[in-house]
Structure 1
């Protein structure tokens, strides 16, 4: 199976666990609050149902796209126009089966996506918003770790 909806949902939920640890005051939470201008009072004024609800929706959207980046068999399917019955795709699957369908391989691609795609986007936004490098690295680092874990779950959980 190329797409595991349970793995996608669990990968989306993993961003909450990473965020809970990453943004803990004993890890990077205090630095993030200082660099972003967030205060305890301001944080308490936020609509938590809205924030966490939309965060879950956005995390599911990210996780939904992750198979395109971490599972090579999805790329092979794209080459045949999405036709699962295409003889060349069937032969490819017979020959390659689950090659590169490991947690380790998914982690590698997730890490690369975070480092080479998301970190630069975060840094570009941070530069124009005149944020500090600490802010950009804390935020980008969160996404590198999150995408590494998401890629691992989605690629390895067949």
Structure 2
């Protein structure tokens, strides 16, 4: 049975808010980002509680999905249709040999960084081009998301290693 570490996902889901407070602070990129986005401080004021709550919910979805990108054993499980109990012996042997392989902060961060560079950057850039936003706007947002999901992925993958989490296979 494959177990999901919900504590790691919960912790990782808070990272976008923490990084947002830092990255978009007026002394870092906040002032430039607001200018490039066409926003003003007056426009940014208002009821932010709903924005933060919905942001955390969306961050939970991202963290939940990110584990499937960074933890390779989910791929092996997907190959057998998610049914470990009905999998061939070759799957059981694979999981015995590699069930806890590549579980570190660095490994999760590497795969998440690659996701940021090869998925987030094109996604943000395409939207920004159609919205007629500048490359400065594109790079500020891409940098934020790439660093944010790099940390999220490191936490998710690293927590599995530190926690002693292991894949349990049953015959």
- What is the TM-score with the length of structure 2 in the denominator? 0.88
Query: What secondary structure, in the 3-state scheme, does the structure 2 residue paired with 1:26 have?
Result: helix
Q: Which residue in 2 is equivalent to 1:64?
A: 64
* Structure-to-structure mapping, 1:32-111, within 5 angstroms: 32-45=33-46, 47-85=47-85, 86=87, 87-111=89-113
Structure ID, larger Rg? 2
Maintained 8 Å contact 1:15/1:59: yes
Separation in structure 2 between the aligned mates of residue 91 and residue 148 of structure 1, nearest angstrom: 31
Gaps of 5+ in 2: 161-171
What is the aligned residue count? 157
Query: What secondary structure, in the 3-state scheme, does the structure 2 residue paired with 1:92 have?
Result: helix
Gaps of 5+ in 1: none
Q: Which residue in 1 is equivalent to 2:12?
A: 11
Q: Call closer, same or farther: CA 1:152–1:110 in 2, change over 3 Å.
A: same
- What is the TM-score with the length of structure 1 in the denominator? 0.95
Separation in structure 2 between the aligned mates of residue 52 and residue 28 of structure 1, nearest angstrom: 19
Separation in structure 1 between the aligned mates of residue 127 and residue 79 of structure 2, nearest angstrom: 34
Separation in structure 1 between the aligned mates of residue 92 and residue 104 of structure 2, nearest angstrom: 21
Query: What secondary structure, in the 3-state scheme, does the structure 2 residue paired with 1:28 have?
Result: helix
Q: Which residue in 2 is equivalent to 1:147?
A: 149
Q: CA RMSD in A?
A: 1.1
List, as ranges, runs of 4+ consecutive aligned residues in structure 1 with deviation greater than 3 Å. none
